[in-house]
Amino acid sequence: MHINRAGLLLPLFLCACPIARAPFEVTATCGAYVKQVTLPVHVTAEEEDLVASTAADVRDLFIPWLEANRPELGITSGTAWAGTIVTPHILVVTHYLFFSEEWEMHVCWHVMIAPHDWARIDLRRRFQETAPSVAFEIPSRSAAPPLEATEIAPTDAIWR
């Protein structure tokens, strides 16, 4: 485990490190059937994080809307987040992960001009859920405020 600058405990595989490949052992059990495999996990070398500031800006587009419209999630402007870069680093759709004490937030945005500059978040309760349970989209980041998010189907993918 690793304690990041925000004081949040993160698994080591979320931290950039110079390892090219690491074995990852998976065991699946269903009744008496047990299957065990070892998979190679490719870990990128430490790189300068060039998208953290933009990712935080995109995340922060959703926070006031979540606070006002989905208070049961408990995400507010006072929620502390720690972020980490995700591979692939910069594409037409850029991805970033944020972690609070309770939530993992996958933020992605379309690096495009309006009106095609959408932003999305997937939320997964840390230590409780294995996949995101709720997701939201803002159709255009450059639309006139206040920006309105809509609920969308969450992805079943977990980004690392």
Q: How many CA atoms lie within 13 A of 104 on its CB side?
A: 25
Whether 16 is covered by a domain: the verdict is no
Dihedral (Cα; 98, 145, 110, 75), 10-degree rounding: 20
Position 69 in a domain: yes
Q: What is the pLDDT of residue 14?
A: 43
Mean pLDDT by 10 residues, the chain (160 residues): 41 44 80 86 67 94 96 97 80 90 95 87 94 94 86 83
Cα 133 from chain centroid (whole Å) = 13
In a domain, 45, yes or no: no
Q: Is residue 40 part of a domain?
A: no
Unique residue bearing structure tokens 């949040």: 8
For residue 107, being part of any structural domain is answered with: yes
User: Does 108 reside within a domain?
Assistant: yes
How many structural domains is the chain composed of? 1
Could you list the residue range(s) of the whole structural domain that residue 143 is in?
Answer: 52-152
The verdict on pTM exceeding 0.75 is no
